[in-house]
Amino acid sequence: MTSVDVLILGASGYGGGELLRWLSSHPAVKTLRGTARSHAGKPFHAQHPNLRGLVAGTFEAAPDWAALAQSEAPVLIAALPHGEFGKQWPEIEATLKEHGLADRLTIIDLSADFRLDPAWVYGLVDWQPERMQGVRRIANPGCFATALQLALLPLAAWRPAFVAVTAATGSSGSGATPSDTTHHPTRANDFRAYKVLGHQHEAEVLRTLAAAGWEAPLSFVPQSAPMVRGIFATAQFPLPAGIDTAALKAHFEAFYQGRFFVRIVDGTPRVAATTGSAFADIAVVAKGNHGVVLVALDNLGKGMAAQAVQNLNLALGLPEWTGLRFGSGWPV
């Protein structure tokens, strides 16, 4: 098996911690290193107590490009705040050239910085996964964007005249640094909407649906839910007459045939059944000309780090589920 060495930029954040967790048991990964400015010199478990005894190593102040250049299969995963990797990219790109890494390094960016950039491949891995094979520049999708696209892509077959989506997210969606709107006491017993009809993930969703042949008239209302991790999305849309729940379910099963990490379930998907996993669970209901799709996933799992590992696997020619065949605990 290929011997993979991974460097994570921003390893002290929620995404960085999840990547360290997943990749520590990945059979192809030989070394794991990670940077973080404010925790440099401290062990990974100082910031991620769940990793104590599992993942050795310390946060480093800056990347060791020379060490990465020795790798048979070098991988860089950027888990930095929005805008930061894009800002650093010109300098990093020049450094990669100096170290002979420019063409060999597989890069996965978790931020939105390159998601609309045609020079990067958009890593919605459960849609046309063959796109990811051998790719060296991957823009990992947003967490809401992943849920919405998995819900809506199968609908492109009918191109509904209208689609309304509400989606609730947990507080970890905003990263490790608390703000007025994400701090636990201000949201633990609350439920609210935000960025109504104006969330930044709409652009990547609409672009994918357009590529699938549907200029979707999307109405998207994001919500802030009193949970730590998870996304629950509800899409409602008009359906052509004659499609009942069984037919809609069969359509989704056919669309996601062979996609191990997309599970079509009966009744309702449950956020807790996807927590800490690479799974997205989907249920559908149809009545008259009214269609509903429900999606649950973990914003830090399928919505971020686990999807990044799926992309890493495909980019390096490994089976997609390598290091990822775990379900959530139950109950969580």
Ligand X SMILES: NC(=O)c1ccc[n+]([C@@H]2O[C@H](COP(=O)([O-])OP(=O)(O)OC[C@H]3O[C@@H](n4cnc5c(N)ncnc54)[C@H](OP(=O)(O)O)[C@@H]3O)[C@@H](O)[C@H]2O)c1
> Using CB under 6 A as the criterion, which residues of the chain lie in contact with ligand X when the complex forms?
10-16, 36-39, 79-82, 84, 110-111, 142-143, 172-173, 175-177, 299-300, 303-304
Q: Which is nearer to ligand X, 117 or 253 (CB)?
A: 117
**Is 231:143 a contact under the CB 8 Å cutoff?**
yes
Q: Which of 7, 73, 80, 143 is catalytic?
A: 143
CB of 218 to ligand X, least distance (A): 19
Q: Alpha-carbon distance 28 to 322, whole Å?
A: 8
Q: Which is nearer to ligand X, 176 or 221 (CB)?
A: 176
Structure-block tokens of residue 265:
């379930």
Q: Which is nearer to ligand X, 87 or 290 (CB)?
A: 87
Q: Alpha-carbon distance 206 to 216, whole Å?
A: 7
Q: Which is nearer to ligand X, 264 or 297 (CB)?
A: 297
Q: Alpha-carbon distance 237 to 291, whole Å?
A: 5
Structure-block tokens of residue 268:
């309702």
Ramachandran angles phi, psi of 180, nearest 5°: -55, -35
The strand pairing partners of 292, in sequence order, are: 236, 285
DSSP tally for the chain: helices H, then strands E = 9, 14
CB of 215 to ligand X, least distance (A): 26
**Length reported for the chain:** 332
Sign of CA dihedral 41, 277, 251, 199: negative
Q: How far is CA 1 from CA 112, 201, 209, 275, in A?
A: 31, 36, 36, 29
Q: Which is nearer to ligand X, 71 or 146 (CB)?
A: 146
The answer to whether residue 219 is catalytic is no
Q: Which is nearer to ligand X, 123 or 142 (CB)?
A: 142
CA angle (291 as vertex; 276, 154 as ends), nearest 5 = 60
Q: Which is nearer to ligand X, 162 or 194 (CB)?
A: 194
Structure-block tokens of residue 262:
């997309």
Radius of gyration of the chain (CA): 20
Nearest to 326 by CA among 271, 259, 261, 264: 261
CB of 237 to ligand X, least distance (A): 25
Q: How far is CA 321 from CA 12, 53, 224, in A?
A: 25, 24, 30
**Is 69:1 a contact under the CB 8 Å cutoff?**
no
CB of 246 to ligand X, least distance (A): 34
**Is 149:203 a contact under the CB 8 Å cutoff?**
no
CB of 82 to ligand X, least distance (A): 5
Which of the residues are catalytic?
Answer: 143
